[in-house]
Amino acid sequence: MNILITGASSGIGKELAKKYENQGHIIFAISRRKAEFENSYECDVANFEKLREIVKDITKNHQIDMVIANAGISYPHSASFMPFEEFKNTVDVNFLSIHALLENVVPQMKKNKKGKIVLISSLAGYVSSPTSLAYSASKRAINSYAEGLRNQLAPYNIKVINIKPGFIQSEMTAKNKFKMPFLLPLERGVERIEYAISKNKKEYAFPFVFASIVKLVTVLPTNLKDFILNKLNSSKI
Ligand SMILES: NC(=O)c1ccc[n+]([C@@H]2O[C@H](COP(=O)([O-])OP(=O)(O)OC[C@H]3O[C@@H](n4cnc5c(N)ncnc54)[C@H](OP(=O)(O)O)[C@@H]3O)[C@@H](O)[C@H]2O)c1
């Protein structure tokens, strides 16, 4: 397979891409830092014009079988109202870049009547933490996008796989100063993601117990939900 992945210079993306490369697949990696893959492109995914040009060039010469929109950013948790530029950057990197990334991939996959589009969302998309508004909002936007895209592309045999991980050890979570419940080692988290991709899971939230608790919170009456979120916030989760 030819696999196009963003954010393969560290963490989940790097580990996942290495796994696929070891299985003999060809990796096309996009991130700001140079990734350790032969076809590595240095690009800030929030630079939509550059991103679209790079993907256009790649798809001119290669058929992409799977695209993994993994690049993501999380500013340090804070109870203060986020500066606009940081908010915009979070939404640009985590969400809007996905549509720019897919602009030239989707028509190619539609023509070939096959392909996989993997989106890396988060359990944070289910409930919005008061200390990471932009991140939660950007991930919830992915969930909405995935739901629509999945059904739009189903007639073309293109699978849309929305992954919603809990906490996984990476550069992103290493910055967190609070206790992260159900924190998974990187390798274990990536194993779960690879499994979900292999099974074409439409949505895959994990680890199971944490994901179940979070999903349960979403169906609670608003006042009870807010009570729990405020409790978690005061314990800095
Ligand atoms: N770790 C977790 O607990 C967890 C949980 C749920 C979801 N996720 C999601 O998983 C994805 C990967 O995160 P991670 O935990 O592996 O974090 P990470 O180690 O910080 O990796 C983030 C990756 O995204 C890339 N990236 C960030 N900003 C970028 C930009 N503007 N342009 C291009 N690439 C950019 C980084 O590359 P450069 O710095 O080289 O640009 C890096 O390769 C993210 O979408 C994150 O939201 C993580």
Q: Whose CA is nearest to atom 19 of ligand 1?
A: 11
Active site residue 139: yes
Task: State the pLDDT at residue 236.
Answer: 53
Quote the CA–CA distance of 97 and 69 in Å, as a whole number: 9
Q: Which of the listed residues 12, 126, 197 should we mutate to test ligand 1's pocket, taking the one with most ligand atoms within 8 A of CB? A: 12
pLDDT score recorded for residue 82: 93
Q: Average pLDDT of 225-233?
A: 85
Mean pLDDT of 194-198: 98
Q: What share of the chain is helix, strand, coil (3-state, %, to 5)?
A: 50, 15, 30
Angstrom distance (rounded) from CA 44 to CA 33: 9
Question: What's the whole-number average pLDDT of the chain?
Answer: 96
pLDDT at 235: 57
Q: What is the pLDDT of residues 84-133, one digit of tens each?
A: 999 999 999 999 999 999 999 999 999 999 999 999 999 999 999 888 99
Residue 237 pLDDT greater than 80, yes or no? no
Does the C-beta of 186 come closer than 6 Å to ligand 1? no
Concatenate the DSSP letters of all residues of 57-80 into one string: HHHHH---SEEEE-----PPP-SS
Q: Is 109 in the pocket of ligand 1 (CB under 6 A)?
A: no
42 lines ligand 1 (CB under 6 A): no
- Atom number in ligand 1 closest to CA 13: 16
List 20, 41, 126, 135, catalytic entry = 135
The catalytic residue among 31, 74, 97, 121 is 121
Residues 211-233, mean pLDDT to the nearest whole number: 91
Give yes or no for residue 66 having a pLDDT over 90.
Answer: yes
Helix (H) or strand (E) holding 116: strand 115-120
pLDDT at 232: 75
* 211 to 86, 214, 221: CA distances (angstroms): 28, 5, 18
Q: What percent of the chain has pLDDT over 70?
A: 98
The pLDDT score that the predictor gives to residue 47 is: 98
By alpha-carbon position, which residue is closest to atom 38 of ligand 1?
A: 32
pLDDT for the residue 113: 98
Reduced to 3 states, what is the DSSP secondary structure of residue 163? strand
CATH classification code of 2-234:
3.40.50.720
Q: Is the CB of 147 under 6 A from ligand 1?
A: no
Please state, in angstroms and rounded to a whole number, the distance separating the CA atoms of residues 30 and 200: 23
Q: Is the distance from the beta carbon of residue 72 to the nearest atom of ligand 1 less than 6 Å? A: yes
Give the percent of the chain with pLDDT over 90.
Answer: 90
